A and B are shown apart, each in its own frame.
Chain A
Amino acid sequence: MEKKERIGVYVCHCGTNIAGVVNVGEVSTWAAENLKEQGVVIARDYKFMCSSLGQELIQKDIKEHGLTRVVVAACSPHLHEQTFRNACKGAGLNPYLSELVSIREQSSWVHTDKVAATEKSKALIAGGVARVIHHEPLEPLRVPIHPATLVVGGGIAGIQAALEIANAGYPVYLVEREPSIGGHMAQFDKTFPTLDCSACILTPKMVEAGNHPNITLLTYSEVEKVDGYVGNFVVTIRKRARSVNEELCTGCGICWEKCPKKVVDNIFEAGMGTRKAIYVPFPQAVPKYPVIDRENCTYYIKGTCKACEKFCPTNAIDFAQEDQLLNVEVGNIILATGYELFDARRITQYGYGRLANVFTSLEFERLSNAAGPTGGNIVLRDGKTVPKVVGIVHCVGSRDKNYNEYCSAICCMQSLKFAHLVHERTGAEVYNFYIDIRTPAKGYEEFYHRLLEEGTHFIRGKVAEISDAVRLPGEEGKLIIQVEDTLTGNQLRVPVDMVILSAGLEPRRDAKEVANKFGISCSADGWLIERHPKLDPVATVTEGIYIAGCVQGPKDIPASVAQGAAAAARILGKIQQKEIALEPVRASINQDQCSGCRICNNLCPFNAILFHEDRMVSEVNPALCQGCGTCVAACPAGAISGTGFSNEQILSQIEGLLLLNIPKKETVA
């Protein structure tokens, strides 16, 4: 070391969090005396280093003692690294010349032996001091932010997010796989706990999104590819052929009226109703243009028919239309791709798909919907018989280690809503079979009490079986629900006419592929992972990619709307800054050492490494790199290094930790 660094060491008490276990006074005195050789010119301890007084202490020392490096021994860098970097910056020191040593999470919180914890803290600080010497001044990378945003998924979360951003004056591309936006909420009849009509509160938002000058609606479309990085994504979107010219179509509806081909609608009507081969999923669809379902259209199968074309008054039918690939540039992306219903067929003993009058929750939503296949009449599968007794089974596929261990969050309230609707419209006796009733949000518990007063039966027990095997008088022609009432300890056989299975929520079956496509990760369950479960619920570990709604985990409408708006607010904040500063902790590849083996290319979780075919070398895109270090460790040629994590830095830190450079006689103390 030609030029000796001047290092300041600051030991934090963190109230009693650290000082309760670690002798902070002893540690700072030790550092001042024993780390002189390494360049420590001053060591202090202070009650709360993160307070403004603590920070001012550092700044004063930088100026008065001419410090060139700062080591703070306090909490984890996750919490306050940025705080102390800013403090250094405020005093004119490059922020990356500081080092935060964790003596709380890694020492005081995990040890009870005070002497040992104190000694360990000294070693950790020695490591930090040895390391900080090799720090280099770094400048954050600044990249401009494209003002447009891509929202993937046109359910309520995506619609809300798109509207917030569009209303702030910035462009949005709203991509939806189905022919219309609206998502699951469009299928529902009533919403809990207020029982207001789902369509009535949703359709104004759909229309607003459809008409908004700042929103480009891309329905019947899917994202194919995502390139680029925060602020500068280039997204390839496949706009599937509608077979209808949107410029000419007026949405008059003659085409689907005249279409002779009826198809069971497994998506919007959940298999309860039919649509035509040319269709809009529901009357309030946005956009109003229909699509031709080519798999079922007679023309595409047999080559004849064209009834829709014949009757279309504006010549909008275009059988030759092809998929279009659009490239759009956006600065940020929100994923709001929602959920899928648990397939109740998997629980064979509940008989769904085998016993006609066992319904899923989504089927019941359509059954009770005034715009649904029965006009809102709650009837059995025969289409006419009104049930006299109805059983509602909670937690189907949820809270069950055979299927999904998690609670699907919405099923209790949904089941209560069903119970109310059945009771109100048919006067039938209603049984709810539950494990626990979970009604934790505003107005929910009150709704539960309302149901109790309405005379709904609540039986606490997990249903063992639903069968049509008659055993006792009175069971003829009924479905028998076998359950243990765990409150009384009795086995019950409850004969009912109709069973509704409150099926849980599951991630979309392609959730993993979607996560890969956007360079983020999903949990073992398949839900996309947020950056922090409490403090950063809508961001992801990849800069510029946000998540909202059920794609992150099961949630109800208010929570989905809140997340949609939250993600939008986060993005608006970014857009208004016009550019984004990226952490300069990055990997870089020494092009002379790179052998072009491409091992790192596929390992990078952020798709940040590109390969130059011409020169046969790999290169890291600094804007995409998150500095995780995977490639650094994997490179067989040792050609990749990470800023802030050079071999020199790591090895020095280890030497420091082992107290190798401190004369023996002094360390004994």
Chain B
Amino acid sequence: MKKEFAYFPGCSLEKMAVSYHMSAMETTKKLGVHLKELEDWNCCGATTYSYIDELLAYTLSARNLAIAEQTGLDVVAPCSACYKNMYFTAAHLKKDPDLAEHINFALEEDNLHFTGNVGVKHLIEVFAYDIGPEELRSKVVKPLTGVKIAPYYGCQIVRPQKDHEDVELPQFFEDILSAIGATPVNYPLKMRCCGGSLIISSRPAALSMVRNLLQCAVDAQADIVATACPMCQVNLEVYQQQVNQEFGTNFSVPIMYFTQLVGLALGIPQKKLGIGKEFVAATPALLRVEQAGAASDQETKE
């Protein structure tokens, strides 16, 4: 069963989160899902633009949506902020035809037109619903047995409330982690904000948010925190050292994209998943994965 989606990587995945991009492409390929990158896409406006100029922020996203519409496919974003911006824009413009007309006037310059006839998905929704835990489980060759993983949803994935999800306590991330053989831990702060761009504008506030998230992961005895957003990944990983300095803590928690973990379970080599570029080395935790994999290989041989 071949599934195809228009793919909007977003700026982060070009550089900072290139490992997310690599692992997304590798895993989806392996799972029979084709991600077709949009041609000539632009920035989604990130987390802040809509507060500075709403009209331009909507226009930015509307342009990407209009390009996606031409493909006739649903558009998928791996980044939570990109996803949220596109989803909100599509929903808002459908409700406000005057604004849509106004924006379409601008888009005409580019021979583009937004009609609202496009579905918007986060990459993790593709894994959770289009592929589904059952199929994922059937493709696993190196289950992550015994690895305790905190499913960190972040604050944006379920914010545009969709019918199928419990917005206060979703479970689909846990289902994905269980499907690849890992043990999802109870992570009470799984929906909390990572601080987002506050890390630039109000660093003490953001650092304390990151500290809480890391502490909660440690309390839950997680080996790894899995994320589905480049912003969350950066805040939790890159600033871990600063948190340690600021609060006198001693965190060393690897923060990995869920696609990297899925890739490992699918037997994709670490290098192809961009593993090895982390600030907080995933190696110790991954060693356990390797051992677990070896053990399970042995079991199958026996």
Q: Which residues of A contact B (CB under 8 A)?
A: 347-349, 467-471
Contact = CB atoms under 8 A, between A and B. Distances in A.
A469 B189 contact: yes
B168 A471 contact: no
How many chain B residues sit at the interface, stated as a range, is under 10
A495 to B, nearest CB: 14
Interface in B212-239: 212, 215-216, 219
A350 to B, nearest CB: 9
Contacts of B215: 470-471
Nearest to B212: A471
A349 B188 contact: no
A588 B216 CA distance: 73
A348 B216 contact: no
B168 A347 contact: yes
B166 interface: yes
B168 A468 contact: no
A348 B189 contact: no
Contacts of A349: 168-169
Nearest to A476: B219
B188 A348 contact: no
Interface of B: 166, 168-169, 188-189, 212, 215-216, 219
Nearest to A467: B188
A470 B219 CA distance: 8
A348 B190 CA distance: 14
A348 B166 contact: yes
Q: Is the interface of B mostly helix, strand, loop or mixed?
A: loop
Contact of A469 (B166, B168, B169, B188): B188
Contacts of B189: 469
A468 B216 CA distance: 10
A567 B293 CA distance: 73
A348 B168 contact: yes
Contacts of A469: 188-189, 216, 219
B188 to A, nearest CB: 4
A381 to B, nearest CB: 17
Contacts of A468: 188
Given A468-B188, A469-B188, A469-B189, A348 B219 contact: no
B225 to A, nearest CB: 14
A468 B186 CA distance: 10
Given A349-B169, A469-B219, 9 more contacts: A347-B168, A348-B168, A348-B169, A349-B168, A469-B188, A469-B216, A470-B215, A471-B215, A471-B216
A468 B185 CA distance: 14
Nearest to B215: A471
Q: Which 10 A-B pairs have the closest CB atoms?
A: A469-B188, A348-B169, A349-B168, A348-B168, A467-B188, A469-B216, A469-B189, A471-B212, A348-B166, A470-B219
Contacts of A470: 215, 219
Contacts of B166: 348
11 contacts: A347-B168, A348-B166, A348-B168, A348-B169, A349-B168, A349-B169, A468-B188, A469-B216, A469-B219, A470-B215, A471-B216
A123 B231 CA distance: 72
Contacts of A347: 168
Contacts of B168: 347-349
Nearest to B192: A469
A598 to B, nearest CB: 38
Contacts of B169: 348-349
A348 to B, nearest CB: 4
A130 to B, nearest CB: 48
A133 B189 CA distance: 76
B125 to A, nearest CB: 20
Nearest to A350: B168
Contacts of B212: 471
Contacts of B219: 469-470
B21 to A, nearest CB: 32
A468 to B, nearest CB: 6
A349 B191 CA distance: 11
A92 to B, nearest CB: 66
A347 B212 CA distance: 24
B56 to A, nearest CB: 33
A488 B219 CA distance: 32
